[in-house]
Amino acid sequence: MAEADFSNYGFGKDGVNLVKNPLQLGDGEASQLQNAELRLDVNAVGELALGKRGGFVALNGSALSGGAVMGMLGLNLKTTYVRTLYAGLGTAAANTFRTSTNGTTWANSAAAPIPSVNSKFTDANGERDARRISAFRNFIVYPFNTYTKGTDNPPLAIWDGTEGFTLLTIPIGPSATAATPAFEIVDLLTADGKLYMAIHDPGGSAPDLAGRVMSLNLESGALRQIATAFGNGTGDITGGYPCSLCFYKEQIWVGLQGNTTTDGIGKIVRCYPEIDQTWTSDVATLTGFPCSLAVYKGDLYAGVQTSVSSNSAVYKRTATTNAWAASFTSAAGAGDSGFCGSLIVYGTDLYACEYFSGATDVVHIKKWDGSSWTTDRDVDAVDGVDATNPQMPGNSVNGPNTDLLFAFRPSSGDTTADGFILRKASGTWTKVDPLINTNGMLTVLVTRS
């Protein structure tokens, strides 16, 4: 009588058994398995499979003159790191970025996915959002322009200097009463090994506009919402949608944008991400909405935009007292002004860009050394190209050669090419890349070879 076929896919996974009689061994056992090992089998969706153990390979072709090898030392291979500046562009041409490895010489690049252009941020006073690109290890992440606002879920692009693609799309948020996608991704921050995203959602009413802060674990790919949403719904945090982010004292700090001109309602909230279930209001009485946050000498600083009758200002939260107070107040006047997403520490000083568009334009890069504020660059007088509609500051970044760079957006639209980049090196400011249609996004990509 013929025996039935027997299939054994787990042979070897239970190891060697020298106690049992060979006829009593289980399906996964063996009496000997010399030079065999279990390996992940990609053809079996990661299940273990039995394979031959690899042997030692001689590193040298001949013996070392008969001498004994007393020890070995592992040394890393020589690696060259290149830091490249990336300045996002609008739609004046097919190029998507301007790039530079020294901060002085710039070139067009059309290889990377196009970052979101200015018109994607027009809803709810979006020009005051931080709009930062985030750098992590050897790639950069930024809002991707290839979506129709209000129709598609906004995507996030990733670029490593060679390849680029859509990393994810933002899912519809809890404020939606129908299948309504988020408006845009308004700020990005890499901190504690994760990517944090400030998102402006539809819903709410000024100043209690809707939004979320979400985190992306760049190792596991896990995407989650941090604490509660923002808006005027049940359980929401009021005061505006999140428009600027900062990591300080192991917490995520969020400046809110309410899109009104009411005095004294600027709000910053905080929480321990993935621990706290709700946000703690740290201050809710700033003269304007905070659109830029930075840490300097242990204290937290917030740049706010103007309100109906109060000038824009930079506020300081003193770490020892937790109290907020104005560190610098603009003398330019109320109206179209603010300290946009440009607060940055460079060397031993804190820098910020003061912006005011009115009868007398003011675009000044200010410097704070811990005791006094000074004007480090009179941009509107020296570098501006439009006397009545000054270029609004975008992002700032510490460059490849211990320099400081500020991007300034064009005077209007995504196709106007009168924006520029300023560089400070060895104490001197220079307009290094004039007449470009930068969208204000600026970062540094690190690659290695």
* Chain segment 274-284, per-residue pLDDT in tens: 899 999 999 99
Is-contact 334 311, C-beta < 8 A? yes
pLDDT at 59 over 70: no
Mean of all residue pLDDT scores within the chain: 88
Tokens of 153: 């879920």
Best mean pLDDT range from 172-186, 231-245, 348-362, 400-414: 231-245
**What is the average per-residue pLDDT within 399-421?**
89
pLDDT at 44 over 60: no
Q: What are phi and psi of 119, to 5 degrees?
A: -65, -20
Query: pLDDT tens digits for 241-297?
Result: 999 999 999 999 999 999 888 889 999 999 999 899 999 999 999 999 999 999 999
417 vs 438: CA distance, rounded Å: 8
230 or 45, which is more confident: 230
50: CB partners within 8 A, 6+ apart: 11, 12, 13, 33, 36, 37, 38, 39
Q: Could you give the 3-state DSSP secondary structure of residue 423?
A: strand
405 vs 171: CA distance, rounded Å: 34
Burial of residue 179 (number of CB atoms within 10 Å: 0-12, 13-18, 19+): exposed
Q: What's the pTM?
A: 0.82
Cα atoms found within 13 Å of the Cα of residue 173, Cβ hemisphere only: 31
295 vs 123: CA distance, rounded Å: 29
pLDDT of residue 348: 96
Residue ranges covered by each domain of the chain: 1-54, 83-448
pLDDT of residue 30: 83
Q: Give how far Cα 45 sits from Cα of 42, 49, 62, 194, Å.
A: 5, 11, 42, 28
Q: How long is the chain?
A: 449
pLDDT of residue 124: 42
Residue 204: CB atoms within 10 Å: 23
pLDDT of residue 45: 45
Across-strand partners of 353?
A: 365
Q: Considering the domain 83-448 in this protein, what is its CATH number?
A: 2.120.10.80
- Three state DSSP letters for 385-422: CCCCCCCCEEEEEECCCCCEEEEECCCCCCCCCCEEEE
- Burial letters 46-55, b for 16+ CB under 10 A, else e: eebbbeeeee
For residue 42, name the pLDDT band (cuts at 50, 70, 90).
Answer: very low
